[in-house]
Amino acid sequence: MFYSHHPSLGLLLASAVPVLDPASKDAKAIGSLFLIVFLVCLAILAVISALICTSLYRFRAQDNNFPPQNFGRHGSETLWAVPPVLIVLTFSLLSAKLIVSDSAGAGDPDIVVVGHQWWWEVRYPGSRAVTANEIHIPLGRRLRVRVESADVIHSFWVPQLGPKMDMIRGHPSFVWLQADGAGIYQGACSEFCGDQHAWMRFLVIAEPESQFKRWLERQARPALGAANDTAQAGRNFFFAQTCANCHAVGGTSAVATAGPDLTHLAGRRQLAAGILDKTPENLARWLKNPQEIKPGCQMPNFNLNDDQVNELVAYLEGLR
């Protein structure tokens, strides 16, 4: 492919444009097409700029005479009509070919991802595992992902791993997801969806099959109980307050799905769709006032005092 013949240029652009640092066959094809279109457009820009500059110089006003006008130059008209049509046609055909070969079709999904304002719900059909903002996948396998929305239109995109796919309420779509190298890949919502669209991020963690299986098996287990008195106080507070109206904790009476599932919250790398690293300090900051960190998000400020926050952190940090 074009892309692989130009590794140095690819590397240069890859640092700025993740789509040019692909880690799957699908993403490679998209990266190549992007580079072809980009370079052709760059060449067109150079030619047009040169022509404009030449014209400005050669035909600049030298006296007050209106320059002679030439109408109906058949040669030039053909020249500026035919090549652009051919270029656009070529781009269209290349894109159409890629869209067709990339299509995941409709079928049994390996993973279901539901977009919410402003976070990602992740389910694994056939397993009880439910997580949020973090998708684990086994290395080298082409997985069919069904994407949906719980509210407005979002768009699922992991630039290094595959194409974008819009997430539309009541209309599931399918997209391939594959990683050929182990690692953590950034994903993001790429359709404007309200206040916190910019903080609707997620991670894709690609790991060897055996490691993935262990992870999935752990995620499917019910939540651990409270490990100490502080955590128990936090647990009591969690169920006495309104937390369970929005969140689920596997194996308890909390089963709501309006907010992220918290069953294994403590094992995740980030909080609130990428805005914070998941540390006990950040979890406390979040509980103290989510609106300060992510204004407009669906979780209100409950005006919790420091003791309540500490107890809740002790409980939630035990959910591994």
Cβ proximity to ligand CUA, 152 vs 284, nearer residue = 152
Nearer to ligand CUA (CB atom), residue 28 or residue 123? 123
Contact status, residue 48 vs residue 54, Cβ threshold 8 Å = no
139 vs 64: CA distance, rounded Å? 72
| Contact flag: residue 115 with ligand CUA (CB under 6 A) | yes
Of 189-197, 233-241, 291-299, 308-316, which segment contacts ligand CUA by CB under 6 A?
189-197
User: Which positions ≥6 away from 234 have C-beta within 8 Å?
Assistant: 226, 310, 311, 312, 313, 314, 315, 316
Q: What's the distance, CA 46 to chain centroid?
A: 33
Residue from 189, 275, 283, 319 binding ligand CUA (CB under 6 A): 189
Q: Exactly one of 104, 179, 193, 254 binds ligand CUA (CB under 6 A); which one?
A: 193
**CB closer to ligand CUA, 157 vs 286:** 157
**Residue 200 touching ligand CUA (CB under 6 A):** yes
Tell the smallest beta-carbon distance from residue 257 to ligand CUA (Å): 17
Alpha-carbon separation of residue 113 from 64, 246, 311 (angstroms): 68, 18, 31
Which x/- pattern over 139-178 shows residues binding ligand CUA (rule: CB under 6 A)? ---------------x------------------------
Pick between residue 115 and residue 318 the one whose CB is nearest to ligand CUA: 115
State yes or no: residue 299 binds ligand CUA (CB under 6 A): no
